[in-house]
Each structure stands twice: as structure tokens, then as C-alpha cells.
Structure 1
Amino acid sequence: MKQIFRLTFLFCVVVLGKSYGQNPIIREVFTADPAPIVYNDTVFLYTSHDTASVDATNYQMKDWLVFSSTDMVNWTNHGAPLSPKSFSWATGDAYAAHCIERDGKFYWYVSTFHKKDENSGGGAAIGVAVADSPTGPFKDALGKALIVNEMTTDNEHGWDDIDPAVFIDDDGQAYLYWGNGSCKWAKLKDNMVELDGPIHHFKPKHFIEGPWVYKRKDLYYLVYASAGTQPEMIEYCTASNPEGPWTYQGIIMDNVPNSFTVHPGIVSYKGKDYFFYHNGVLPTGGSYRRSICVDYMHYNPDGTIQKVKQTQQGVMSAN
């Protein structure tokens, strides 16, 4: 098995080249669900980790990974500082997650499944881990899930509480967005580990999962994986308030090659805007063996987003 892995990796290097300036940006492992943040002039990229076999028909995702870069071209692998085993209440795989910094601490919101116990009958759940460093070590911040399936009833299926994304507004108010089938949101208290009010839900046009919320100038953006067509694309809405109402704006990015899913991650860094996503183009890759890419993102004068061009060359050094 080790020999097969070495041959596969060698093939990746020879055929695709070792340069991390080309897409996909991470090649030594299969990664998905990018969640970038900027901290101390460094981009930290939090990812899912696909470990399914070549002929697998479902996900196998045992932990979450962290990478960093100071030029958007060369990426350092910091390993897997967090997994579902880090949470006593969790079971199953490590689905999409999002980390954010507040007051010098790093809060990593993750989606996995909950054990059947006195707190939950099972189903998808969202937890939060905390660390003093962007690369950990992380530990369960609550000792229990932040969101369990019983807290949301607008969808009948048990995996609708996935794909958390956190946004902190200019006034310091933090918001948690998540969902599959509908977009859910709630305010967070200043401690970042408790809800501050009720859970709301709504259905942006074509929404399926993977929300990403941010603010640029006076506009708030809700970007998400859509199911208007199959496989998924990336579409978005805008609003003048993080609580909505949201106005549908259209498609940002078309289907990606060799992957049924796609997941957005957006960051501004050293004067440029970057759009992270995943596809399945690496050798032996596919819908359950995905790889993260990054391309430039551009806006029109009115704040609407130009369609992202998926490229093999990726982005140039930011330095």
C-alpha cells in the first residue's frame, strides 16, 4: 500500500509539477471545503481532509487540516490539530468547518454527527473548538455541541445542520450561518460559544449548502453552493444588513471538474481578492477525493461579483 502511495505521489509531481503556484494548491493530500482567514499578514487555510479510497462511494473524512501562506503560492502544512475524536459527543466524519479569530483566540466551528445520547437523538451537529494559536492545539470549547439536530425543524432530513460559517460585523456582533437544504443563522454572544437569540432560517434561490458571509464596503455578501443545476455551482446574494433581507444576484462560478460538490471561501489579502474552492482534478481524484484551488476574484463598480474564472495556473505571488 505504501508503494502504491509513493507511485501515486510521484505521478502527481511529474505530471502536475511541484509548484504550489498552480491549481490545485495542495497536492500531498486530498483537501476540500476551504475556509481561509488572514491573521498577522498570513493566510491560514482550514480544510476538510478526504481519505476515501479510489473506488469509494461515500466520504471518509477523519480530521481537519490547517495550512498557511504568506504569498498565496507556497503553502505550509500544519497537520491535523482537530478531529471528531476531539469532541466526546461526536461520531462520524469531519465535514466542512470554519475558524475565526476574536480577541486573540481562535474559534473553529465544525460539522460532524452527534452520538445518540441524552442530549441528542443523533444527526448532524455543530461544535466549536478553541485555541490560542491559529494552528492549535485546539480543544472542545463547550464539552457539548453548539447546534444539534433537534434545534432545527424546518427540514426533515437529519444532516441539515452542517457547514458552519461565522461572520463578525463592524459593531462586534458575531453571526453563525449554516445549513443544508435551507440557510440557518443565529447571533452569537461575545464569548463565541453560545447563541444569543433564536435560530432563523430562509431559502436563498437554489441554495443547497456551504454558506460564506462577509462584508465589503457597505454590502454584505452571502455566497453558497447551489443546486439550480447538477452538479453544484456557486451563487450569491447581497444585503444591507447581515440579517437580510437578501437579494439574489446570480452565479459566481460554474461546476468544477470531476466533483459533484463545490464549496466557497473568500479572502482579501495584500490588496487582492481571492476565491477558494475545490475540484477533483488530481490523479485518482474525484467527488470523494477533492483538492483545493484558488483564483482571483473581481468586483464591478456597483459591488456585484464578476464570474470567477477557474484556471490551472492559479494566482501569482502576493509579495
Structure 2
Amino acid sequence: MEKTIKSQWPGAFRMLSCAVIITAVIAGCTKKEPDTASSPDLNNPVKSGNAVSLLSVDLMSGNPILPVATADPDIIYANGKYYIYPTATGPNASQFHAYSSTDLLNWTDEGIVLNLANVSWAQTDGWAPSVVARNGNYYFYYTAAKKIGVAVSTSPTGPFVDKGTALATGDGTDPIDPMVFIDTDGQAYMYWGNTTFNVQRLNTDMISLTGTRSHDKPSNYFEAPYVIKRNSTYYLMYSINDFSSDDYHVEYATSSNPMGPWTTKGRITSALGAIKGPGHNAVISKPGCSEEYFFVYHRRTSTNIHERQVAIDRMFFDGAGNIMPINISVSGVTQSAGTASCLTPNPIPNGQYAIRSKVNTTSGAGLYLDIAGCATGNADVRTWTRTTCAGQKWNLTYLNNGYYKILSELPTHKSLDLDACSIERGANVQVWDVFSNDCQQWRIESVGDGWYRIMAKAGNNVLDIVNGDATPGADVRTWTWNGAAPQYWKFEAP
């Protein structure tokens, strides 16, 4: 069904390709060749010495987030910074870099942290690292020449020194993509392998394996395993299809044991429009915030399968503990320093409210979220001074998945709706017939002093008054979060 009331800014502010054009000579790769180029950057990279930062969009990270085309990211938090480690770049995919950020907005290239030129047993095909902290050290697990290596450093930015021999070859034809998980009891496990799934315990030295190797896997497993634990349940995420496929994507399975058996649960990522192949993920929760997860992965907008880009979006669980499908975005995530307070999943109790903007008229009157003309059909949403019309009364219901349903109190009870589920900023906001899709789910997050931002599930942008217009009747759209008054909302008695 065509459901467009008003289409503002058509095609504007497209941020699907936001990385620096970079070219490298690649040789010796048969499967996962390193990325060699990307589309023009719309966010203006800033260079300072060896550091390169990709600027954020307002107070959001934007996607992609790294200033080069690369893939297969891992992410950790250490010493007040987030660190992302992707597949190696440089000659023959031999140079692993780390990228750091204090708040998920701007990422700085920390330089080469491991160079395969300094590894005795393999010098090419450096893919898919995994980094963990333990014993006062940082352990860097990686693929090289289709074997698994491990290097050690006292710093998350290296230099990492290889142990001198491969840690494992694994079983199967492609023993790649290592991931190390440390359980709450202190036992560490390494997961790896394409098609053949390998799981084995690590010794406390973190550079040698012990015990029996398991191959128990979900029936549709392909590659890129990643494990987290939540409420005594182990979640195994993994990628499906070859990385070159437009439908390369992430699925997951669960178990009560870190070595399985695994119960297949469902799909997490899907291609969206020009964004293809969203896969090979890592997950991190904000420090001290057990329910605030970030999902880091690669994707591409180019027909060149090697022009992959690293992106970040939020990840949520529903009330039954299932991972919700990731909402692919071009805006990314909001500023989130590791020291910032945790967000409350459902800060507003279910009930009926008038939703007031922080913007007032020039005479000082409040402006409220309002249905144009108090219309009972599908209609535009705007601002207006306070009236008795039920078009300014909104019924909130928390859906137990990080989002709310917001329905009008008018007799037809239309739903607050994002036009066409657009992921681009500038999309119009309206009321529409009630559906269960992402167009009609909204996240509410506190921004202090009783004010909130209201974020669309599709696109991750926030309710915003066009141009901050203080005139009653100004249109309401979604836009990237910038912390300005037109994006602040308060929930009052109706």
C-alpha cells in the first residue's frame, strides 16, 4: 500500500556511502580479499599525523563508522575507550589496525597493531581478529594463511607480538574467523571455522588450547561465530552465505552450555535497499549497562564485493530473551561515552499523555504534538498550542522490546507513524492505520531534567520540529539527534 501523506526532503541527506576512497594492491587472497576502495565520504575525514577520524553526524555516529573500507570487526572497551579491530589492510592483507573512540562518535586510527611481516609462520590473508583482556594483557586472535594465530600486548593498541607458532589449524577446509569468549566462571573458549565449526577451551595462559574439540553447531552455520552470555543463556551468532552474497547475513542460536548443543532461533540482519550483506558481527554492552548493547558488523553499498564498510547499530532483546532483528541505519547510534549513565529501557509508564516540545511560541505558549485539524483519518503530525482536542492525547504502551506503541486518543486510534519506514533523516511523521511494523515503534530515552528524545525504530532518528519553527502548525519529521530544543519532548497530563 502506498502510504505517503507528505514526503519531505526526497532523496536528501543520503549517507549510505560515507568512507574515504582508498586503493590498495591485493595479492594472494582466494576467499576474503581485503577491501580496497569505498565510496566518497560525505562526512569529511580529518587527518592528523597517522590518525584519521571519520566525523560523526550531529551527535550520532553515522554509518559506516571507519574511515577505510574493511570488514569483520571485533570491539572491546578498555581504558576509557572503545576499540574496533577489523580485517587487515595493506599489502596482501598483512597490516592489522585498531580504531578507538571515547563515545562511539569519532573514530581514530591508532595505526598498525600487528604486522604479519613480523610473524614467522604466515605473512598474508590477515582476517577477522578477536581481542580479549586477561592477566594484565590483551590477546589478539586472528586468521593468517588460513590458520589461527595469537599475539600478546600490554596495551589495546599493541604492538602485539605473535607467540611464534600458529595456535590452531582447526578442522575443515577453512579454519578461519576466531572468536574468544570468557565465561563468568573464568573459563575461556575459542570458536572458529567456515562450514566446519570448531569450539575448544583455552588454557589460563590464553595462548594454548586444552580438552576435547567440539564441532556441534546449528544446522545452518556458515562462518564468523560470536558468543555472548545473558541471564545464563549462551547466544551464538554466526553469518550465513558466502561474504560475497547480497544476502550475507547474521542468524543466531542459543544453548545452556558454551559448547552447545545449539537451538537455532532466527535471523538478526537483512539487506535493506542499497545496503547489502550485513554480516560478520561483534557485540558489546556499554560498561556497567547490562541491557545496552551495540551491534558492530560490516556491510556494503557497492557492487564491488570487497568494498565492505564497518557499521554500528543498537541491539535489543524482547521479553522472552530473543534477539530482535537489527534495524539497519545510516545514522548509527547516539553519543555514548563508556562513563555515561545507563539508559532506562521504559522510562515512561504506560498511559495517556500530552507530548510537549521544548520549543515555545514567541509569546511563550507551549507547543504540543498534534494531529492536523484533529483529523480522524490518516493525517499529518505537526505542532500546535494546547487544545482540548483528542488529537493531542497520546496513549503509550511499552512493547517489552525497547520500544513503545504511541496511539492517538481520537476515535480511530491511529498510530504515530514514520512515513515509509524511511531510514533517512528528514522523513515525515504522521498518524496511520495501526500495523505491527517498525514504522510504528518508538524508543523513548531520557535527556535530563524531565525531557526525552523519541526515536524511530526504523532509521534510529528522533522526532524533530522542522527548522525549530516556533510557529504553531510547524511540521514534525525525524532527524539525526543533535541535542537541540526541537528534539526535546516532555510527557504531561493530557
Query: Shorter-chain TM-score category?
Result: 0.7 to 0.9
Match of 1:183 in 2: 197
- 1:149-206 CA-partner distances (Å, limit 9, x unpaired): xx52xx3x3xx21000000111110000000012111000000011111222133132
CA–CA separation in structure 2 for the residues paired with 1:74 and 1:222:
29
Q: C-alpha root-mean-square deviation of aligned residues, in Å?
A: 2.6
Give the CA deviation at 1:146. Answer: 0.7
Match of 1:84 in 2: 116
CA–CA separation in structure 1 for the residues paired with 2:326 and 2:222:
20
1:84–1:92 CA contact under 8 A, matched in 2: yes
Give the CA deviation at 1:287. Answer: 1.8
One-letter code of the match for 2:149? G
1:259–1:290 CA contact under 8 A, matched in 2: no
Within the candidate set 48, 51, 65, 1:25 is matched to: 65
TM-score of the two chains, using structure 2 as the length reference: 0.54
Instruction: Work out the percentage of aligned pairs sharing the same amino acid.
Output: 36
Report SS of the residue matched to 1:71.
coil
Change in CA separation of 1:9 and 1:188 when aligned onto 2, cut-off 3 Å: closer
1:35 aligns with 2:74: yes
1:259–1:286 CA contact under 8 A, matched in 2: no
CA–CA separation in structure 2 for the residues paired with 1:50 and 1:106:
21
Residues 107-126 of structure 1 aligned to structure 2 (within 5 Å)? 107-113=139-145, 124-126=146-148
Change in CA separation of 1:189 and 1:236 when aligned onto 2, cut-off 3 Å: same
Match of 1:168 in 2: 182
Greater CA deviation, 288-297 or 42-51?
42-51
1:279–1:286 CA contact under 8 A, matched in 2: no
Change in CA separation of 1:296 and 1:246 when aligned onto 2, cut-off 3 Å: same
Report SS of the residue matched to 1:310.
coil
Within the candidate set 144, 152, 155, 2:165 is matched to: 144
CA–CA separation in structure 1 for the residues paired with 2:300 and 2:94:
19
Match of 2:235 in 1: 221
Greater CA deviation, 12-21 or 93-102?
12-21
1:95 aligns with 2:120: no
Match of 2:214 in 1: 200
1:258–1:279 CA contact under 8 A, matched in 2: yes
Give the CA deviation at 1:50. Answer: 4.7
CA–CA separation in structure 1 for the residues paired with 2:189 and 2:305:
30
Q: Is there any run of 5+ residues in structure 1 with no aligned partner, and where? A: 53-59, 114-123
Report SS of the residue matched to 2:87.
strand
TM-score of the two chains, using structure 1 as the length reference: 0.82
2:88–2:97 CA contact under 8 A, matched in 1: yes
CA–CA separation in structure 2 for the residues paired with 1:169 and 1:35:
18
Report SS of the residue matched to 1:264.
strand
Greater CA deviation, 287-296 or 37-46?
37-46
1:267–1:275 CA contact under 8 A, matched in 2: yes
1:259–1:287 CA contact under 8 A, matched in 2: no
Give the CA deviation at 1:290. Answer: 1.3
1:83–1:94 CA contact under 8 A, matched in 2: no
1:12 aligns with 2:34: no
Match of 1:288 in 2: 306
Match of 1:134 in 2: 156
CA–CA separation in structure 1 for the residues paired with 2:207 and 2:139:
8
Q: Which of these two proteins has the greater Rg computed from alpha carbons?
A: 2
CA–CA separation in structure 1 for the residues paired with 2:187 and 2:22:
46
1:250 aligns with 2:271: no
One-letter code of the match for 2:70? T
Q: Is there any run of 5+ residues in structure 2 with no aligned partner, and where? A: 1-20, 24-36, 46-53, 338-494
CA–CA separation in structure 1 for the residues paired with 2:233 and 2:151:
30
Report SS of the residue matched to 1:199.
strand
Report SS of the residue matched to 2:258.
coil
Match of 1:119 in 2: none
CA–CA separation in structure 2 for the residues paired with 1:90 and 1:5:
25
CA–CA separation in structure 1 for the residues paired with 2:246 and 2:309:
19
Report SS of the residue matched to 2:41.
helix
- 1:8-36 CA-partner distances (Å, limit 9, x unpaired): 99942469994262100112x21211100
Give the CA deviation at 1:230. Answer: 5.9
Give the CA deviation at 1:39. Answer: 1.8
Give the CA deviation at 1:240. Answer: 1.2
1:36–1:43 CA contact under 8 A, matched in 2: yes
CA–CA separation in structure 1 for the residues paired with 2:219 and 2:40:
41
CA–CA separation in structure 1 for the residues paired with 2:197 and 2:178:
10
Report SS of the residue matched to 1:306.
coil
Report SS of the residue matched to 1:249.
strand
Change in CA separation of 1:61 and 1:233 when aligned onto 2, cut-off 3 Å: same
2:269–2:279 CA contact under 8 A, matched in 1: no
Change in CA separation of 1:74 and 1:201 when aligned onto 2, cut-off 3 Å: same
The number of residue pairs the alignment matches comes to 287
1:300 aligns with 2:329: no
1:237–1:248 CA contact under 8 A, matched in 2: yes
Change in CA separation of 1:49 and 1:316 when aligned onto 2, cut-off 3 Å: same
Detail structure 1 runs of 4+ shifted over 2 Å in the superposition: 8-11, 13-20, 49-52, 227-231, 255-262
One-letter code of the match for 1:267? I
CA–CA separation in structure 1 for the residues paired with 2:204 and 2:109:
31
One-letter code of the match for 1:280? R
One-letter code of the match for 1:12? D
2:216–2:262 CA contact under 8 A, matched in 1: no
